[in-house]
Structure 1
Amino acid sequence: MKILFAAAECAPFFKTGGLGDVAGALPKELKRQGADIRVVLPYHIQQMPEVYKEQLEDVAQFEVKVGWRKQFCGIKKLVKDAVTYYFIDNLYYFDRPGLYGFDDDGERFAFFSQAIIEMLERIDFIPDVLHVNDYHTAIIPVLLKDKYQWIQAYQSIKTVLTIHNLQFQGIYDQIVLSDLFDIGYNAFHEHGLEYYGNVNFLKGGIFYADLVTTVSPTYAQEIQTPAFGLGLEGVLRENSWKLKGILNGIDYDMLNPETDEWIAAHFSVDHLEGKKANKKALQERVGLPVREDVPLMAMVSRLTEQKGCHLLEEKMNELMQRDIQVLILGTGEAQFEHSFNFFNSVYPEKFKAIIDFDIELAQQIYAGSDLYIMPSAFEPCGLSQLNSLRYGTLPIVHETGGLKDTVQPYNEFTGEGTGFSFYDFNGQVMLETIDRALSVYYDQSKDWTTLVKTAMRQDFSWEKSTREYLDSYEQITEQ
């Protein structure tokens, strides 16, 4: 099966979040399982490491019409881990200091989407399935059935749209139809791009794609409700017949406590001694007292309200009355950066916030902590809790989205579980859940070690999820 995977970011070339992780890991596993998979990305020249720039090979050059504009489009290529990556080159659109957040993002991704379609014949690769991701490429299924439907070679292409985060939908004035795509109003209707008089890229993709997926089964259900649907809940309910939640995985080759080069000591589910050494090294590195007997609870996150930082902020003074150490790594909203810096000065022996983005330290936190706090208001899938489970650090999560799907709450009667969870989204319930985790930790019974080992035995590698994607691809190509 021939698959083209289109995304705006991809690790290890450039990424800002979960989409980049998925784009980096899923195609690699698809290739391993026998698919002819190619990936197409913007050439974010300022973000790509030099080691990859040096490997790029020029494949094609042509012009893409973006409305009335004639824009240069170069196609570059490199092969990594047996996967072929194509990069859409245009300095005007992609030579920027960041990936997103520019006033002309609509135009940038309109160019990108049209360039992807127009490159297919030039690179001699017509996919059976074109898999698009989030609003940046969501209009491609619309364009294939509208602007480019006359091209015979494209008529058998099936499309999959994956929604990684419904927050970002690509809503623009209807003038973009002519100004950016040079198309009329054929797709501007209730079952297409029209959204309260504007154009909504994601909405169009949901209606026109052959399959719509989200990154966890629970999130697929949640976004059909007003609480999580962000204005598209009706659209998603109407298309629920082709909506499917497939849980994200993590790269078990890279995230492996037995081989991780960034952690102080290697360990495994059968040899946990190294976890204590990692805790000691972590406490030393961040300047917390080295105590084996005190539970260390950590968070690696963007510091935002969506991630539940306001719940931690609200209850931190109470939490600091417990015998616990708390470690937070991340950057984000100024309010939380200032608050957590304040707690640094008030509780220097028990609390440490490092306002930074540090991948190496993040790995050491997963390996060296006892508990991992993730009280997100919503979480399409979440990867941090999967990382923490892999390293035997028990997650404390709000029961939403992928967090609910991946963390089995501790059962005090049977001793089963892989972490701790709470349903009501408020600080007091979160604090009570932390207390429940602390009581198990301090009980010194066999339950804690059993939980750690059970957590580490969970399989959230990409292998299982990739089989689900392949099955889904086959179903739509047989229709």
Structure 2
Amino acid sequence: MKVLFATSEAVPLAKTGGLADVAGALPKALLEKGIDAQVILPNYETIPWEYLKHFKTVDVFSVNLGWRSQYCGLLRGEIDGVTYYLIDNEHYFRRGGLYGYGDDPERFVFFSIAVLEAARRMEEQWDILHCHDWQTGLIPFLLKRRYWNDERLSGIRTVFTIHNLRYQGVFGMQEMMDLIGMGPEIFGWDGLEHNDAANCMKGGLLYADKLTTVSPTYAEEIKTSFYGEGLDGILRVRSGDLSGIVNGIDTELFDPMNDAAIKAPYLDSLDKKRLNKLALQKEMGLPQNPDVPVIGIVSRLVEQKGFDLIDGVFGELLEEEVQFAVLGSGDWKYEEMFRTASHSRYDKVSIRTGFNDALARRIYAGSDMYLMPSQFEPCGLSQLLALRYRTVPIVRETGGLKDTVQSYNEYTGEGNGFSFKNYNAHDMLYTIREAIGFYNKEDVWKGIVLNGTRDDYSWSRSASSYIGLYEQLAPERKEKETWPVIS
């Protein structure tokens, strides 16, 4: 089976968030299971030369964007066994970042059309186009409304994965008509119109053959008005085609036994893990004390991640025998909250702003607990990384956090972390205090850490679920003839 991932970012080429991790790791896991998974994304200026040097131009063609005919180059290369294609156009993608430009609508309409034009020109005959988030939401729509009679594309089925429903790609209706060269017929209840604007996410939700999101709980949550971001009605209608598949992590890339960024390799030895804790305390300027629990945070410092809850009870938290090691950036008020505390309570709080991958790994390895009190969390990777590094997560029960963290039950001994249900600061405070109490019972704490090692959070399990979905779309595939390349 041949699957082409269409995505706006993928590691190791380009990354701003978790989407890139999925688009980079899942194809590798699918390849290991016999699926020919390849990836197509824009040729951004930010792609490092160490990767770009592996690419060669394999095709050049024009993309019709409204009344204009735009240049498009197609580059092909292989990295870590995965074949990647890059859509090249300097006007749209030769910039310092991936998103946040005034012409983002035009950039990703161009990308969506270019993906389909490239697919119809390749030697490969694709079974599945797997699209990710709003930047590729137009692809299923265009495939059925614009390319429906193209013999090279007519047999392709589509999967659309929602990584975060909040970001939908909302643009002016006239602008959308001008860009894709279609008239008012593209709007209406069965088109792109939503709240008097053109909505790319809606295109993917309506026209993809199957819909997925990145955890079973988030798949249920987004069918409600509270989490549905205005699209919950469509998701309820399509609930039979919607499934939630928890993301995995690259267990080779994140391996406490083979991580050059951390002080001491370890697996299930808490004594060796404490060596990393002492090293982290020293690096962060915190008093080195193996008996004081360290709570790690690696995150965007924004309200969605629950930092308003921390703000509400931070004074009370700092009365506990605990230290905070924080890495992240975001809203000024939350950065300032941690900065101020790091000056007045330098024995308990230390923050580094920005992002540093090596330091992030040392926080995962050196912390005893990891705090994620999110408002909503489609999947979350940080709690999985914490579990991988034998660090106990404390989370709110939402989305993928609910699916992957089971609250410790002192009567049965089950559970790999601690969780609270209501989005309430004092519920969070109570849960953190509960975790600190069990931390001080060494045998109990060892049992909780051991529980966290028993689940498989590698991409292998997730890949099997995606393969099952692909097979539903192509249950009786037949040997296909080799199509000539369009010149």
TM range (shorter): over 0.9
Which residue number corresponds to residue 101 of structure 1?
100
CA distance in 2, matches of 1:13, 1:461: 21
Contact kept in structure 2, 1:7 and 1:40, CA below 8 Å: yes
Instruction: Give the secondary-structure state (helix, strand or coil) at the position aligned to 1:175.
Output: helix
Contact kept in structure 1, 2:190 and 2:206, CA below 8 Å: yes
Matched, 1:470 2:475: no
CA distance in 1, matches of 2:474, 2:212: 16
Which residue number corresponds to residue 319 of structure 2?
321
Contact kept in structure 2, 1:192 and 1:208, CA below 8 Å: no
CA distance in 2, matches of 1:264, 1:458: 26
Contact kept in structure 1, 2:139 and 2:204, CA below 8 Å: yes
CA distance in 2, matches of 1:117, 1:124: 13
CA distance in 2, matches of 1:365, 1:37: 33
CA distance in 1, matches of 2:372, 2:436: 16
Pairing 1:76-155 to 2, within 5 Å after superposition: 76-155=75-154
Instruction: Give the secondary-structure state (helix, strand or coil) at the position aligned to 1:457.
Output: coil
Which residue number corresponds to residue 419 of structure 2?
421
- Deviation, 1:123, is 2.4
Deviates further, 72-81 or 183-192: 183-192
- Deviation, 1:456, is 2.3
Deviates further, 49-58 or 372-381: 49-58
CA distance in 2, matches of 1:456, 1:361: 23
Deviations along 1:356-383, one digit per CA (max 9) or x if unpaired, are: 2111000011111000000000000000
CA distance in 2, matches of 1:57, 1:215: 33
- Deviation, 1:175, is 1.1
Which residue number corresponds to residue 165 of structure 1?
164
Which residue number corresponds to residue 437 of structure 1?
435
Which residue number corresponds to residue 18 of structure 1?
18
Instruction: Give the secondary-structure state (helix, strand or coil) at the position aligned to 2:61.
Output: strand
Amino acid corresponding to residue 68 of structure 2 in structure 1: R
- Deviation, 1:442, is 1.3
Pairing 1:236-275 to 2, within 5 Å after superposition: 236-269=235-268, 271-275=269-273
Contact kept in structure 2, 1:251 and 1:461, CA below 8 Å: yes
Instruction: Give the secondary-structure state (helix, strand or coil) at the position aligned to 1:131.
Output: strand
CA distance in 2, matches of 1:74, 1:93: 12
Which residue number corresponds to residue 280 of structure 2?
282
Amino acid corresponding to residue 278 of structure 1 in structure 2: N
Deviates further, 466-475 or 198-207: 198-207
CA distance in 1, matches of 2:18, 2:51: 21
Distance 1:178 1:187, change over 3 A: closer
CA distance in 2, matches of 1:12, 1:319: 38
Instruction: Give the secondary-structure state (helix, strand or coil) at the position aligned to 2:467.
Output: helix
- Deviation, 1:156, is 0.8
Deviation above 4 Å: which 4+ runs of structure 1? none
Instruction: Give the secondary-structure state (helix, strand or coil) at the position aligned to 1:153.
Output: coil
Deviations along 1:438-458, one digit per CA (max 9) or x if unpaired, are: 0001133x1100111111232
Deviations along 1:300-354, one digit per CA (max 9) or x if unpaired, are: 0000000011111221111111111111110101111112111111100111111
Pairing 1:340-359 to 2, within 5 Å after superposition: 340-359=338-357
Which residue number corresponds to residue 366 of structure 2?
368
Instruction: Give the secondary-structure state (helix, strand or coil) at the position aligned to 1:37.
Output: strand
Matched, 1:383 2:358: no
Deviates further, 176-185 or 287-296: 176-185
Deviates further, 137-146 or 187-196: 187-196
Contact kept in structure 1, 2:43 and 2:87, CA below 8 Å: yes
Count, aligned residues? 476
CA distance in 2, matches of 1:3, 1:261: 34
Contact kept in structure 2, 1:216 and 1:247, CA below 8 Å: yes
- Deviation, 1:187, is 3.3
Which residue number corresponds to residue 454 of structure 2?
457
Instruction: Give the secondary-structure state (helix, strand or coil) at the position aligned to 2:121.
Output: coil
- Deviation, 1:77, is 1.3
- Deviation, 1:277, is 0.7
Amino acid corresponding to residue 424 of structure 1 in structure 2: N
Deviations along 1:170-195, one digit per CA (max 9) or x if unpaired, are: 11121134311012234322022121
Q: Give the alignment partner of residue 404 of structure 1, picking from 368, 381, 402.
A: 402
CA distance in 2, matches of 1:19, 1:222: 19
CA distance in 2, matches of 1:338, 1:69: 48
Amino acid corresponding to residue 421 of structure 2 in structure 1: Y
Contact kept in structure 1, 2:51 and 2:79, CA below 8 Å: no
Contact kept in structure 2, 1:372 and 1:396, CA below 8 Å: yes
Which residue number corresponds to residue 480 of structure 2?
none
Matched, 1:27 2:27: yes
Amino acid corresponding to residue 243 of structure 1 in structure 2: L
Which residue number corresponds to residue 187 of structure 1?
186
Contact kept in structure 2, 1:177 and 1:185, CA below 8 Å: no
Which residue number corresponds to residue 9 of structure 2?
9
The RMSD of aligned alpha carbons is: 1.1
CA distance in 1, matches of 2:89, 2:187: 28
Q: Give the alignment partner of residue 448 of structure 1, picking from 442, 445, 449.
A: 445
Amino acid corresponding to residue 409 of structure 2 in structure 1: N
CA distance in 2, matches of 1:38, 1:298: 36
Which residue number corresponds to residue 304 of structure 1?
302
Instruction: Give the secondary-structure state (helix, strand or coil) at the position aligned to 2:83.
Output: strand
- Deviation, 1:408, is 0.8
Deviates further, 382-391 or 31-40: 31-40
- Deviation, 1:5, is 0.3
Instruction: Give the secondary-structure state (helix, strand or coil) at the position aligned to 1:381.
Output: coil
Amino acid corresponding to residue 108 of structure 1 in structure 2: R
Deviations along 1:387-408, one digit per CA (max 9) or x if unpaired, are: 0001110000000000000001
CA distance in 2, matches of 1:83, 1:303: 33
Amino acid corresponding to residue 171 of structure 1 in structure 2: V
Amino acid corresponding to residue 36 of structure 2 in structure 1: D
Amino acid corresponding to residue 413 of structure 1 in structure 2: Y
Aligned residues with identical type, % of pairs: 47
Amino acid corresponding to residue 365 of structure 1 in structure 2: I
Amino acid corresponding to residue 461 of structure 1 in structure 2: S
- Deviation, 1:38, is 1.2
